[in-house]
Amino acid sequence: MRTFRNRTTVLAAATTAALALTLTACGDNGTGTRSEGSAASDSATVAAESPKAADDAAGTGTTGSTGSGTGTTQAAGATKSAGGSGDSEGTSAKASAPLCTAEGLQITAERQDGPPYTHLTLSAKNTSGAGCEMKEYPHIHFLDNARGIVPPVAKSKPQTPVILEPGQSAYVAVRMSEGGRKESTETVKEFTVTLKANGGGMAVVKSPAPEGLSVNPQKWATGYWTTELRNGADDF
């Protein structure tokens, strides 16, 4: 009887020792078992959260994603805005130049070479001492105002603002007639050029030829102000 009790005691002690070793192993951080238990615990905690909390979590994730998208859009917008700002500064710098006035320009006419002298070139030199902008085309009156101004040729219009620095000139090609022998022309020894678009006043320009210029109101035409005469655009 005593032997049976002793064996029972030994078995109980062995069982207790095995249980203690098992618990010790579960608590050993080195084996990583505890961290797995922690993950399981965390999973259990998440699973135990209410559906509303899960929805809120999902909503937060969605909001974060949308927020991220919005942030990207705003960044792109900021970049565009920055580029636009640079463009605006460039445009503003050009637009900041005052409009040229007849008072600050020296406008002269030169007849182009070769008979029958159907064209002339107007030059407008900036003598104001500061940069200015030449707009559109000159309003030329070869004859009385009732005859109207010389109409512009659209293809000669420049794509960018024409800014004249001090001493720089703008040019315009002007057709006075077609040079035909039977063409009906009138002779003028001076004419007026008005900077109508600029509101910059009027200049009286003398004929470059002592005998005057032969003009035909049915054929005359003018180009737009440019910093140089361009083949093709000013060929009319």
Q: What is the pLDDT of residues 73-128, one digit of tens each?
A: 233 333 333 334 444 444 444 457 899 999 999 999 998 876 678 999 999 999 99
**Terminal CA-to-CA distance of the chain, rounded, Å?**
135
Sheet containing strand 169-175, edge to edge, reads 105-111, 119-126, 169-175, 221-222
Of 67 and 226, more confident: 226
* Cα–Cα dist 182/7, whole Å: 145
pLDDT beyond 60 at 7: no
Which contiguous run of DSSP H or E holds residue 108? strand 105-111
Q: How far is CA 127 from CA 41, 100, 108, 197, in A?
A: 87, 10, 13, 19
129 phi-psi bin (left φ>0, alpha ψ -120 to 50, beta other): left
Task: Yes or no: say if 236 and 223 are a contact pair by the CB < 8 Å rule.
Answer: yes
Residue 51 has pLDDT above 80, yes or no: no
**Top-ranked range on mean pLDDT: pick from 30-39, 62-71, 123-132, 191-200:** 123-132
**Host H or E run for residue 23:** helix 2-26
Spacing of C-alpha 1 from chain mean position: 105
Whether 206 shows a pLDDT value over 50: the answer reads yes
Q: Are strands 162-164 and 132-134 parallel, antiparallel or unpaired?
A: antiparallel
Q: Phi, psi (5° rounding) for residue 226? A: -140, 165
What does 151-178 look like in DSSP terms, one character per residue? Answer: PBPGGG--SS-EEE-TT-EEEEEEE---
Q: Which of 210, 84, 229, 48 lies closest to 156, judged by CA?
A: 229
- Return the closest-CA partner of residue 98 out of 68, 135, 67: 135
